[in-house]
Amino acid sequence: MPDNQHEKIFLSDYKAFPWKVDRVDLTFKLSPKATRVLSRIAFRPDPAAPAAPFFLHGESVRLISAAIDGEPVSPDVTDRGLTCDVPDRPFLWEAEVEISPEENTALEGLYMSNGIFSTQCEAEGFRRITFYPDRPDVLARFRVRIESDLPVLLSNGNPVASGKGFAEWDDPWPKPAYLFALVAGDLQPVRDTFTTRSGREVDLAIWVRKGDEHKCAWGLESLKASMKWDEETYGREYQLDIFNIVAVSDFNAGAMENTGLNIFNSALVLASPETATDAEFERIEGVIAHEYFHNWTGNRVTCRDWFQLSLKEGLTVYRDQQFTSDMRSAPVKRIEDALLLRARQFREDGGPLAHPVRPESFVEINNFYTLTVYEKGAEVVGMLKRLVGDNAWRAGCDLYFERHDGEAVTIEDWLAAFADTMGRDLEQFKRWYSQAGTPRLSVKEDWDGQTYKLTLTQSTPPTPGQSDKLPLVIPVAIGLLHPDGAEIVGTTMVEMSQETEVLTYDIADLCKRQGKDVARPVPSLLRGFSAPVIVEFERPTEENAFLLAHDTDPFNRWEAGRNLSREVLLKRAAGEEADDAHLVKGISSVLRDTHLDPAFKALVLGLPSEDDIAQGLHAAGKTPDPTAIHAAGEALRDRIAEELEPLLAKTFDENQVPGPYSPDAAAAGKRSLANRCLGLLSRRDDGARAAAQYDSADNMTLSLAALSALLNIGKGDAQLADFETKWRDDPLVMDKWFSLQVASAAPEDAATTADRLTGHPAFNWKNPNRFRSVFSPLANANPAGFHDPSGKAYELMADWLIRLDPVNPSIAARGSTAFDTWERYDTGRQEKMRAALQRILDTPNLSRDTREMVSRILG
């Protein structure tokens, strides 16, 4: 492989492309092994851009012929693209290339999935289709002709002509190549319509294989709800006459927002009550919304370069989070988002892969579709909204869309829309985009009997390549409670911008005015999780118990319960004694509280993840032992089950949902609470309730929870076999069957279970969903299994990543993040993990994707 394959690309090197593209005409003559692509591209010199040689990207495409203004030319072709002498005036580029969709196992560009031709062009897949300036700042109008005998031929925009063996599509909106899409195959449409607020009718369709039509209703409902919500909330209307979604079974990511032709991993669009869980219904609703919202945040206003990825992803995740909050419960959604951020993004931000929301360099951009760019990016957008307030937020968004519709822009352009709306300088706020690492907010209190003082100090630990950090602008929402349980100071947003801020409250006066005894208040800090930071504040256990009972902020109420269980687990996992009385009592009062939402109660019943405890021990300077962490969690679940058995049984009974299944938030919340209770109760009833639930269940939420409860207590063999017989023809359900076994295996059996499953006839490792169904739970859901002291799981993971790498580098590279915590552990585990990583790195012809990731992890 030539050196430039592994070249680092820098944000600071950005240069505009020296030509504009007026039109792109593509003709596809589809054939699995030898598809011909003819391109006619009208280029025009851009006097405003710096001069540079004419270079078109192109990878794994065989050039057959090229011409400029009809005259044949012979460009210099390398394995990354071509250069060619071109005239200094507008010209027409024509080329014919050949590609092989069937051999394209990397699933980037044009590939075949189960007999269907499909594309994935973000970020740099279009260069695997034909030679082109494959960069997001080159926008052009595309017209596409597809020639094939397949019955359904789709591309972006509007259909303009079709006949036997061909179809033509025209997308009137200039777009970057990464939004190009083409689908061809034997697909069935499930149709609906949506009338926009200005009265235009849009034809909607979800295209699926025969037999999957009954799994489209929820996707269509979600799509219509998203279209309506974006009109109402952001004033954004859809512009084309048609909106198509296609479900494909081999897909690297979750879904893709190609203009007018979204392509989805079938797991994120297909759902029926029998086959999908409540959590999947919620996720599908959110992803459909996410891709639809990209129409404005990403497509009509796109990114200048891939360093700006969070400009579209952080903003669009923020918008889909808002949508889910509005459709369901806002506090529950906020807790779910915080859980994900802390479990996965804090882990990324605290390890060798830490990088800013806007990275400064990359080797392979696919490696930067990260939790930091997406989830932390969304938090940064949320903080901006909190800082500017709701009115300026909407005005700033309007200005951003109005100024930049049809343009490819930067984070600076985004912030300028708000700076200009507010007349406010956002330079310091911008550090959130450039500074990696999770900030710490340490809090000290002072109380002299009259005045209460809070001293907040911020700091951000060093991260790879960034040793010194500057103070950030942090919105900290604070409230104060009187020991009688009432609020003496309601939620106030403190805008922290210095390293240290002191807040002073005249409590004596406040108490007197509210007719209360003067008493030291209890602070409720970072309400609603107002910033993605770690609060360092030593609280007595009693105070957490008090907040769990009284905090008016639902997030912090949940957080207080979490602090209680976290404290117990951190101590016990480190071999210390810990009293769980406050925790058990707190959970019991929450379960009894008839005013609380069942979904919220279910979240309070959840314990911190094992990885969360490992993170916490590491942060406290201790060496986490995954085996001990797992044992502590199991023992605590046993204790809660034992102490609260009658209450759990009552809660379980009261939260059964009668009647036909509906995925709505209220019903889903009840099922989630009942299923939490079931998991705990199974430790007491030998799985009797779970077995009964498995037998009577008429929906996947109930069957899967029952099966999981049984497997977690070492039972469920009969049900597992039954499940397989029942669902062997439904790959999405079988993915769950694979996952569950790895997730619930005893730690010492996890690697053997995963290994055994890879020998199952249905284990098709080239299918990303199936590969992940085994290896993602091994890495994420069963840490004690992954970190089993034998090192078996490390070996197995490395073997499979090495095998997968030449076939699908982006999935292999992503899989290597399983090892990104190696520095936390004892020398035995460290050595075994390093050896596994080194073995991957030493593999001949390792992809640039995996090489970059593993090198960064090793540091």
Q: Binding segment for ligand ARG among 255-263, 519-527, 677-685, 822-830 (CB under 6 A)?
A: 255-263
How far is Cα 393 from Cα 378, in angstroms, rounded to an integer? 14
Nearer to ligand ARG, 142 or 369 (CB): 369
Contact between 713 and 679 under an 8 Å Cβ cutoff? The reply is: no
How far is Cα 183 from Cα 164, in angstroms, rounded to an integer? 17
Say whether residue 852 binds ligand ARG (CB under 6 A): no
Write phi, then psi, for 363 (nearest 5 degrees): -100, -50
User: 443 contacts which partner out of Zn ion, ligand ARG, none, CB within 5 to 8 A by kind?
Assistant: none
Q: What's the residue count for the chain?
A: 859
Which residue is catalytic, options 59, 257, 282, 291? 291
Q: How many CA atoms lie within 13 A of 657 on its CB side?
A: 23
Max CA separation in the chain (angstroms) = 92
Q: Binding segment for ligand ARG among 231-239, 253-261, 730-738, 754-762 (CB under 6 A)?
A: 253-261
Say whether residue 291 binds ligand ARG (CB under 6 A): yes
Count Cβ atoms within 10 A of the Cβ of residue 534 and give its class: 0-12 exposed, 13-18 middle, 19 or more buried.
middle
Q: Binding segment for ligand ARG among 251-259, 413-421, 467-475, 525-533 (CB under 6 A)?
A: 251-259
Contact between 727 and 737 under an 8 Å Cβ cutoff? The reply is: yes
Say whether residue 226 binds ligand ARG (CB under 6 A): no
- Residue entry with tokens 């076999």: 721
Q: Binding segment for ligand ARG among 47-55, 163-171, 249-257, 356-364 (CB under 6 A)?
A: 249-257
Q: Binding segment for Zn ion among 40-48, 75-83, 306-314, 508-516 (CB under 5 A)?
A: 306-314
Contact between 753 and 745 under an 8 Å Cβ cutoff? The reply is: yes
Name residues contacting ligand ARG, limited to 356-395 (CB under 6 A).
366, 369
Contact between 323 and 293 under an 8 Å Cβ cutoff? The reply is: yes
How far is Cα 296 from Cα 319, in angstroms, rounded to an integer? 11
Say whether residue 253 binds ligand ARG (CB under 6 A): yes
How far is Cα 843 from Cα 342, in angstroms, rounded to an integer? 33
Nearer to Zn ion, 247 or 641 (CB): 247
Q: What's the start-to-end Cα distance of the chain, in Å?
A: 23
Say whether residue 285 binds ligand ARG (CB under 6 A): no
Q: Is 538 an annotated catalytic residue?
A: no
Residue 783 CB, shortest distance to ligand ARG, in Å, is: 25
Residue 309 CB, shortest distance to ligand ARG, in Å, is: 9
Nearer to ligand ARG, 291 or 788 (CB): 291
Interface residue with ligand ARG, options 21, 110, 123, 840 (CB under 6 A) = 123
Say whether residue 212 binds ligand ARG (CB under 6 A): no
Q: Going along 367-499, which residue ranges are E strands?
A: 407-409, 440-447, 451-459, 474-481, 487-496
Per-residue x/- marks for ligand ARG, 313-352, CB under 6 A? Answer: x---------------------------------------
User: 366 contacts which partner out of ligand ARG, Zn ion, none, CB within 5 to 8 A by kind?
Assistant: ligand ARG
Q: Binding segment for Zn ion among 313-321, 491-499, 660-668, 756-764 (CB under 5 A)?
A: 313-321
**Sheet with strand 76-77: strands edge to edge:** 54-57, 81-84, 76-77
Say whether residue 246 binds ligand ARG (CB under 6 A): no
- Residue entry with tokens 């030593």: 538
Nearer to Zn ion, 289 or 811 (CB): 289
Residue 312 CB, shortest distance to Zn ion, in Å, is: 7
**Sheet with strand 522-524: strands edge to edge:** 487-496, 474-481, 522-524
Q: Which of 209, 230, 206 is nearest to 219 (CA)?
A: 206
Nearer to ligand ARG, 75 or 125 (CB): 125
Residue 174 CB, shortest distance to Zn ion, in Å, is: 20
Say whether residue 489 binds ligand ARG (CB under 6 A): no
How far is Cα 779 from Cα 817, in angstroms, rounded to an integer? 9
User: 668 contacts which partner out of ligand ARG, Zn ion, none, CB within 5 to 8 A by kind?
Assistant: none
Name residues contacting Zn ion, limited to 387-446 (CB under 5 A).
none
Contact between 174 and 20 under an 8 Å Cβ cutoff? The reply is: no
User: 256 contacts which partner out of ligand ARG, Zn ion, none, CB within 5 to 8 A by kind?
Assistant: ligand ARG
User: 369 contacts which partner out of ligand ARG, Zn ion, none, CB within 5 to 8 A by kind?
Assistant: ligand ARG
Write phi, then psi, for 593 (nearest 5 degrees): -70, 110
Nearer to ligand ARG, 120 or 675 (CB): 120
**Tokens found for residue 246:** 């296609």
Task: Kindly give, in sequence order, each residue whose CB lies less than 8 Å from that of residue 28, ignoring residues fewer than 6 positions away.
Answer: 35, 36, 37, 110, 144, 145, 146, 147, 148, 182
Say whether residue 257 binds ligand ARG (CB under 6 A): yes
**Tokens found for residue 846:** 């390792």
The residues that are catalytic are 291
What residues line the site for ligand ARG (CB under 6 A)? Answer: 122-123, 253, 255-257, 290-291, 313, 366, 369
What residues line the site for Zn ion (CB under 5 A)? Answer: 313, 316
